[in-house]
Chain A
Amino acid sequence: MSFSLLILTGVLFAAGSYLLMERSLTRIALGVGVLGNGVNVLIVAAGSSPAEAPIIGRVGELTDPLPQALVLTAIVIGFALLSFVLALAWRNWTITENDEVEDDVEDRLITRRDSSSAKSTDERHREDVSP
């Protein structure tokens, strides 16, 4: 397994996971893409050793075709997923004119119910947003 590919996998996983934790849907979409690529690199790095392409007629040591088939499938799935998240972000933007994922209303209700001394959720939300 190639060391540089491993490092690349790690970096892509870290960046992807970080982006997924953002509130902005565009960043989530980017995170989906980056994380997906990290996984693809991992499968290629872990599954196959560099050799001749496994096609009928080639001679010599052939590489294992299965990881590549898996990665191709994973790429297609990632493509579909990414376009869905983009559509989601787009729809969110047309409705709310911003890019943020909002809090859950029911959760806010429950928080408000049991914290009489606490501030209203609106205030709390504002605090979340402002730095």
Chain B
Amino acid sequence: MTTLLSLVVLLPLIGAATALVFRPRPVQRTLSFVTLGTSLVAATSVLVDAWSNDAMHVVRMGGWPGSFAITFVADRLASVMVVIALTVTLLVLVYSVGQKSAGERSAFYHPVYMVMSAGISQAFLAGDLFNLFVAFEILLMASYVLLTLEGSDAQIRAGTTYVVLNVIESMVLVTAVGLIFAATGTVSMAELPARLAALPDGTRIGLQLLLLVAFGIKAAVFPLFFWLPDSYPTAPSSVSAVFAGLLTKVGVYCLIRTQTLLFPGELNDLIVVVGALTMALGVLGAISHTDMKRILSFHIVSQIGYMVFGLGIGGTAAIAATIFYLIHHIPVKTSLFLVEGIIERDSGSSSFDAVSGLARRSPAFAAMFLVPALSLAGLPPLSGFLAKFAIVRAGVDSEQWVAVAVALAVSLLTLVSMTKIWVGAFWGDVEPAASVGVGILRRHALMSMATALVVVLSLAIAVGAGPLYDFANKAAEQILDVAGYVTAVKS
């Protein structure tokens, strides 16, 4: 199991290195699929073990003892995140091969893509803060390259915003790690809870705020979200789908870790307020735009708000709801970006003024948009409804009335802006002259197949919501049990 766990991170890196040496495109594609697929299998077996037994797996690199080693820890939450992340990266890889974008044809696309996947897995599994920082840098560096790979004017502009903001985020994070080390003498997440608790209140809150700002920039919460709708839309759809689905979730995941493990229950009121503002401002931004990618990007922000709100409520039920939300949101958001990418590829524009009547041209394609869109807005019986319901119920239980009201209003506004895309691109008259949408599924078979699989994944989350929710509950209990984590990792 130790071997499998380390291979989850190391295999994609090895794949990337090999793909740099052997660069013909078929070789690179095969390498990507094989390594990411094998990592997925390895991660799944770790997950199955975490699900069935009550096991927490720990790998210490180099065989060093306790707090000196680079540690990987796979508890329930980490292993489920790794599996979902790898599944989505693999499906988006299929899509990007079908997309034939200029980016994918570069000899660097596949190596960098694998490096990013390794970084994401490492961030989920990191057992010490510095390892987490390194994981962030790996995935960020890869994401910079993927975002600007085509080198167009717009990409460079957006890339600059993205890079500068993330540089600031990295600097804040590494400063926080340095100061935490100075204050406590360790960066190991297993030793930090006790040592942080022993610090004076002022120091502890200062350190926590630094970490919250760093992860907040990555997760795009209010007031640090403005870079996201600016930069994501310029990337090729496949890349922005992965960014939208996974990178911001890494930020949310780290926020969950900080709030449950390192600083349990502190500053929760602040987080609720931030969550509510993030939801509201994100959805307002979405309503003001007419470009599909922009709308979807603003929706990422508003959806992050729900997760942050759930995290701020605290307690097993709310954390479980947040975890469920996190899991459900990854395939939903990814599939929306993928559908948008197909439209863009077919019509050459991501503004919904340019297309109409897609529903009549291809009902199956329209369904592929409708399912995740309604799920995002939170309509029953889709997974989004369950996730939102769980969060709102936890909010009602803890009497956060204002934030609950905001959450409900935002859900309605989400539906409004999704309707805007639907009416603009899918309804309306079919323009006889334009061939947009005729046989759209057949023409982009590979892309459509990948998108359909992601949609099926999100439907599977709705169908399997019962067991999955149980699992989220167990994961929440596990991460709230700080003492359990400490003993499992230290021993």
Contact = CB atoms under 8 A, between A and B. Distances in A.
B288 A110 contact: yes
A20 B181 contact: no
- Which size bracket describes the interface of A in this complex? 35 or more
Interface string B115-156: 000000000000000100010010001001100100111101
A73 B134 contact: yes
Nearest to B166: A81
Interface in A75-107: 77, 80-81, 84-85, 88, 91-92, 95-96, 101-102, 104-107
Contacts, number: 93
B154 A88 contact: no
Interface string A7-24: 000000000100010000
Interface residues of B, number: 39
Contact of B160 (A16, A28, A105): A28
A20 B175 contact: no
A47 to B, nearest CB: 5
Given A77-B137, A85-B163, A91 B148 contact: yes
Contacts of A102: 153, 157
A117 to B, nearest CB: 19
Contacts of A66: 68, 181, 187
Q: Interface residues of A: mostly helix, strand, loop or mixed?
A: helix
B167 interface: yes
B424 interface: no
A107 B285 CA distance: 11
Interface string A30-48: 0010011001001100110
A91 to B, nearest CB: 5
B151 A46 contact: no
A88 B181 contact: no
Nearest to A73: B134
A88 B231 CA distance: 15
Contact of A84 (B145, B152, B171): B145
B171 A73 contact: no
B157 A101 contact: yes
Interface in B276-299: 288-289, 291, 294
B168 interface: yes
Interface string A49-78: 000000000000000101100100110010
Nearest to B183: A46
A84 B141 contact: yes
Given A25-B160, A42-B175, A74-B174, A106 B181 contact: no
Interface in B180-223: 181-182, 185, 187
Which of A67, A81, A110 has most B Cβ within 10 Å?
A: A81
B107 interface: no
B236 interface: no
A91 B177 contact: no
A88 B153 contact: no
A19 B296 CA distance: 32
A81 B142 CA distance: 11
Given A46-B179, A46-B182, A67-B181, A104 B141 contact: no
A96 B153 contact: yes
B265 interface: no
A74 to B, nearest CB: 6
B367 interface: no
B167 A20 contact: yes
B175 A39 contact: yes
B153 to A, nearest CB: 5
A95 B178 contact: no
Contact of B130 (A39, A70, A101): A70
A103 B288 CA distance: 18
Given A80-B141, A105-B154, A88 B160 contact: yes
B171 A36 contact: yes
B148 A42 contact: no
A36 B18 CA distance: 31
Contacts of B68: 66
B178 A70 contact: yes
Contact of A47 (B141, B144, B158, B181): B181
A35 B163 CA distance: 14
Interface in B353-385: none
Contacts of B156: 88, 91-92, 95
Given A35-B167, A88-B156, A88-B160, A70 B177 contact: yes
Given A88-B148, A96-B153, 18 more contacts: A25-B160, A35-B171, A39-B175, A42-B178, A42-B179, A47-B182, A70-B187, A77-B137, A80-B137, A81-B167, A84-B145, A85-B167, A88-B156, A88-B160, A102-B157, A104-B157, A106-B289, A110-B288
10 contacts: A28-B160, A36-B171, A39-B174, A42-B175, A47-B181, A64-B185, A66-B68, A84-B144, A91-B151, A102-B157
Interface of A: 1, 16, 20, 25, 28, 32, 35-36, 39, 42-43, 46-47, 64, 66-67, 70, 73-74, 77, 80-81, 84-85, 88, 91-92, 95-96, 101-102, 104-107, 110
